[in-house]
Amino acid sequence: MITRSFVKDVVALEGPIFLVVGMNSFGMAIFLHNQGNNQVTYRYQDSNENVEGSYTDIGTGFFGTIDPNGVVLTKITSTKPYVRLKAYAAGGSKLFCGISQYYLNVSNIQPIINI
């Protein structure tokens, strides 16, 4: 299992917060905590390639808003090798991200990219 955490600034224009590279079919648990004063709107996307136009929203339950000091925990399972979080906050905010990934084979470990 790999766990990584970081705090990221969220700005008014939607943009990527992080990118997870590698097959995620065993799942990820992602913890988001809005540490700022403005609401954060977010959505998860996945893709078979790391090309901007190829990403699609994962679907129901993988998007929403987080109020100031609010927390969201999401489990994502994807057979696609690229999973990312995009977000925005009018007036800006800070978002704590905690990501845990489970792997059966440690040699398959891929990076979590803090964009």
- What residue segments make up the domains of the chain, in order of their start? 2-66+78-114
Q: What percent of the chain has pLDDT over 70?
A: 87
CA distance 114 to 84: 10
Which positions ≥6 away from 61 have C-beta within 8 Å? 74
pTM above the 0.85 mark? Answer: yes
For residue range 14-37, what is the model confidence (pLDDT) as tens digits?
999 999 887 766 789 999 999 999
Q: Evaluate whether 77 touches 29 at the Cβ level (below 8 Å).
A: no
For residue range 67-76, what is the model confidence (pLDDT) as tens digits?
999 999 999 9
Weakest-pLDDT range from 4-18, 22-36, 38-52, 100-114: 100-114
Task: Name the residue with tokens 């999973």.
Answer: 83
For residue range 81-101, what is the model confidence (pLDDT) as tens digits?
899 999 999 999 999 999 998
Query: Is the domain covering 2-66+78-114 a CATH 2.60.120 domain?
Result: yes
